[in-house]
A and B are shown apart, each in its own frame.
Chain A
Amino acid sequence: MEMQLTDLGIGGKISRLSPLKNLKQLIEEEVRVGVKTVVAVGNDKTLFQVINAIVGRPVVLGIVPFGPNNTIAHDLGINSVEDATKTISTRIIQKIDLGKINNDYFVSQATISDGQAVIEFDDKFAVSTEHAGSKINVCNLRPAHVAAGQNHFNPQDGYLDLLVETASRKGMFRTEFAKSIFPFKRIFIRGPKTASITADGGKIFKTPVKIEAAPQKIKMIVSKKRDF
Chain B
Amino acid sequence: MFKGDEAGREVDTVIGPSVKVEGDFEAAGNVVVEGQVTGNLKTDRNLQVGSNAKIFANVSAGSANIAGEIQGNVKIQDSLDLSNSARVFGDIKCKTASIASGAVVNGKVQIGEQKKSKPEASEITSGKTKKGKASKTNKAAEATPPDPLA
Binding site for B on A (CB under 8 A): 121-122, 124-131, 134, 150-152, 154, 157-159, 161, 164, 166, 168, 178-185
User: B interface vs A, CB < 8 Å?
Assistant: 1-2, 5-7, 9-26, 29, 34-35, 39
Cβ contacts under 8 Å, A150 to chain B? 12
| CA A124 to CA B5, docked complex, whole Å | 20
A54 to chain B, nearest CB (A): 24
Is the Cβ of B6 less than 8 Å from the Cβ of A158? yes
Contact A125–B13 (Cβ < 8 Å): no
Question: Ordered nearest first, which 4 A-B pairs have the shortest CB separation?
Answer: A125-B23, A180-B16, A157-B5, A166-B18
B18 lies within 8 A of A131 (CB): yes
Measured CB to CB, the closest approach of chain A to B24, in angstroms, equals 5
Distance of A227 from chain B, by nearest CB (Å): 15
Known contacts A127-B20, A166-B16, A183-B29; 12 further A-B pairs (Cβ under 8 A):
A125-B23, A127-B19, A130-B18, A131-B18, A151-B11, A157-B7, A159-B11, A164-B19, A180-B15, A180-B19, A180-B35, A183-B11
Q: How far is the CA of A168 from the CA of B19 in the complex (A)?
A: 11
A131 CA to B35 CA, complexed, in Å: 12
CA distance A150 to B11 in the complex (A): 9
Residues from chain B with a CB closer than 8 A to the CB of A185 are 1
Q: A179 CA to B14 CA in the complex, in Å?
A: 7
23 chain-A/chain-B pairs, Cβ below 8 angstroms: A124-B1, A124-B26, A125-B22, A126-B23, A127-B20, A128-B20, A128-B22, A129-B20, A130-B20, A151-B12, A152-B11, A157-B6, A157-B9, A157-B11, A158-B6, A159-B2, A164-B16, A178-B34, A180-B15, A181-B13, A181-B14, A182-B15, A183-B11
